[in-house]
């Protein structure tokens, strides 16, 4: 095994969003320097990073020059081109490896890989061209959801298909690019498990969170998920298997559908810290971002023990800024509210601008308080 990368070293981050920002804050606290590579002129991670490299991801000369200044490289979103990661890996280790990202960047590859590992996924059909539509219309059960194989997140690149007659139109709307048709699952809820795996194969899991979505965007996460122990245990066992068999080095989030009978289907994988894991910053001994630092640096993983009985996280979208600055003082009247803002200059509808976390003696209490705090932001707008 490689020698650990110790504090004082430079950690390279591809991507300048809020996940990179929170990673950088954790790394800087531990004594590392963080260098970020992103094409945008300004971004949340750049506000806190030690150094910023601005270039396009397909500028491979710039990528190589960046990698030469880093001791290890990681990502804050998975849609980094494979050629970028291959060029970077010529000069420094990339963790998680490009092979994992190649799998998770494409829904069809991801589902086929999970199926090969014996992990249950929703029934799906690969649509590579318009010529496939006729046969699939005969084979599939409707309704379903047609999803682009690549570059989709937060509900983007998806169309609900009510019947076989709708399939051709939905495929055209998605640009006639490769897609997967997922048969509709009548599930009771969605949960996620954020886990980390180190260079030595050690695996550490945060307990499952229960996730509520609004308009295909995560709205609220609750920890621990108020579900039967058997369901939570199955989710953790599957997560451990996936982290181990895919040889992840870094952080991976596994999203699950919980079916009516309590059985689980894996919905998708995210090879990075995840929105549902943000509450670990305030609720756990070692948060998901510190775990990412530890894992990619070859250090022992931290404790995933909860410091509090329960926690709830609520996303803050740009919609809250319509009509004026949110009333931060009103939300912070509850002394148990933790405010996290991402430093984004422009608030747009649907854009993740920050989140709130509340810790409590019960999941129900945490959820009630975090929703009340968020509601109070719009009750009386503050002044800039």
Contact 101, 78 (CB under 8 A): yes
Helix axes 60-67, 82-89, angle to 10 degrees: 40
> What residues have CB less than 8 Å from 312, skipping those under 6 apart?
220, 221, 222, 223, 279, 357, 358, 360, 363, 366, 367, 369, 370, 371
> Residue 153: its pLDDT value, please?
56
> Residue 383: its pLDDT value, please?
43
Distance CA 49, CA 32 (A): 10
Looking at the predicted structure, is the pLDDT value of residue 210 above 80?
Answer: yes
Residue 293, preceding bond cis, omega within 30 degrees?
Answer: no
> Residue 340: its pLDDT value, please?
98
> Residue 151: its pLDDT value, please?
64
* Secondary structure class of 31 (helix, strand, coil): coil
> Residue 1: its pLDDT value, please?
67
> Residue 302: its pLDDT value, please?
98
Contact 68, 57 (CB under 8 A): no
Encode pLDDT of 52-96 as tens digits.
999 999 999 999 999 999 999 999 998 899 999 999 999 999 999
Looking at the predicted structure, is the pLDDT value of residue 271 above 80?
Answer: yes
Contact 298, 4 (CB under 8 A): yes
Burial degree of 45 (CB within 10 A; 0-12, 13-18, 19+) = buried
Distance CA 242, CA 268 (A): 12
Question: 123-183 adopts what CATH topology?
Answer: Dna Ligase; domain 1 (3.30.1490)
Q: What is the mean pLDDT of residues 101-114?
A: 92
Upper half-sphere CA count for residue 119 (Cβ side, 13 Å): 29
187-379: CATH number = 3.30.470.20
> Residue 216: its pLDDT value, please?
86
Looking at the predicted structure, is the pLDDT value of residue 193 above 50?
Answer: yes
DSSP 280-297: HHHHBSS-HHHHHHHHHT
Residue 83, preceding bond cis, omega within 30 degrees?
Answer: no
Residue from 256, 168, 175 nearest 210 by CA: 256
Looking at the predicted structure, is the pLDDT value of residue 155 above 60?
Answer: no
Name the helix (H) or strand (E) containing 139.
Answer: helix 133-139
Per domain, the residue ranges of the chain are 10-94, 123-183, 187-379
Burial degree of 362 (CB within 10 A; 0-12, 13-18, 19+) = exposed
* 13-27, 54-68, 81-95, 172-186: least confidently modelled range: 172-186
The residues that bridge with 54 in the sheet, in sequence order, are 38
Looking at the predicted structure, is the pLDDT value of residue 384 above 50?
Answer: no
As a whole-number percent, the residues of the chain with pLDDT over 70 amount to 97
Looking at the predicted structure, is the pLDDT value of residue 154 above 70?
Answer: no
Burial degree of 343 (CB within 10 A; 0-12, 13-18, 19+) = middle
* CATH architecture assigned to 10-94: 3-Layer(aba) Sandwich (3.40)
Looking at the predicted structure, is the pLDDT value of residue 103 above 70?
Answer: yes
Looking at the predicted structure, is the pLDDT value of residue 38 above 70?
Answer: yes
Using pLDDT thresholds of 50, 70 and 90, give the confidence band for residue 152.
low
Name the more confident of 98 and 250: 250
Mean pLDDT, the chain, whole residue set: 93
Residue 224, preceding bond cis, omega within 30 degrees?
Answer: yes
Looking at the predicted structure, is the pLDDT value of residue 125 above 80?
Answer: yes
Distance CA 337, CA 328 (A): 11
Q: What is the mean pLDDT of residues 208-221?
A: 96
Using pLDDT thresholds of 50, 70 and 90, give the confidence band for residue 149.
confident
> Residue 241: its pLDDT value, please?
98
> Residue 380: its pLDDT value, please?
64
């Amino acid at each position: 095994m490689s020698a650990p990368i110790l504090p004082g070293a430079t950690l390279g981050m591809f991507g300048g969003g809020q996940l990179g920002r929170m990673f950088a804050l954790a790394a800087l606290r531990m004594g590392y320097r963080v260098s970020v590579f992103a094409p945008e002129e300004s971004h949340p991670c750049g506000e806190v990073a030690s150094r910023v490299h601005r270039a396009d991801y397909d500028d491979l000369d710039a990528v190589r020059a960046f990698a030469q200044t880093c001791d290890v490289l990681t990502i804050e979103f998975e849609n980094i081109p494979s050629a970028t990661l291959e060029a970077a890996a010529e000069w420094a280790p990339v963790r998680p490896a490009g092979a994992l990202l190649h799998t998770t960047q494409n829904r069809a590859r991801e589902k086929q890989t999970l199926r090969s590992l014996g992990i249950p996924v929703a029934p799906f059909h690969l649509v590579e061209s318009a010529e496939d539509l006729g046969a699939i219309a005969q084979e599939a059960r409707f309704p379903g959801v047609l999803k682009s194989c690549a570059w989709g997140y937060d509900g983007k690149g998806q169309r609900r298909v009510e019947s076989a007659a709708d399939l051709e139109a939905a495929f055209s709307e998605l640009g006639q690019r490769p897609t997967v048709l997922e048969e509709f699952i009548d599930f009771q809820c969605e949960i996620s498990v954020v886990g980390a795996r180190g260079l030595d194969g050690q695996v550490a899991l945060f307990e499952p969170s229960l996730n509520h979505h609004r308009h295909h965007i995560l709205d609220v996460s609750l920890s621990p998920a108020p579900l039967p122990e058997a369901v939570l245990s199955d989710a953790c066992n599957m997560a451990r298997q996936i982290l181990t068999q895919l040889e992840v080095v870094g952080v991976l989030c596994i999203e699950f559908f919980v079916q009516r009978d309590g059985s689980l289907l894996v919905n998708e994988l995210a090879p990075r810290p995840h929105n549902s894991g943000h509450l670990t910053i305030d609720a756990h001994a070692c948060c998901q971002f510190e775990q990412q630092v530890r894992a990619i640096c070859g250090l022992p993983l931290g404790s995933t023990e909860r410091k509090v009985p329960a926690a709830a996280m609520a996303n803050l979208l740009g919609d809250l800024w319509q009509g004026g600055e949110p009333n931060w003082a009103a939300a912070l009247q509850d002394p148990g509210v933790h405010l996290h803002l991402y430093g984004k200059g422009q608030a747009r509808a649907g854009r993740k601008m920050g989140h709130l976390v509340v810790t409590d003696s019960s999941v129900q209490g945490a959820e009630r308080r975090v929703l009340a705090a968020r509601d109070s932001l719009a009750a009386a707008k503050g002044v800039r």
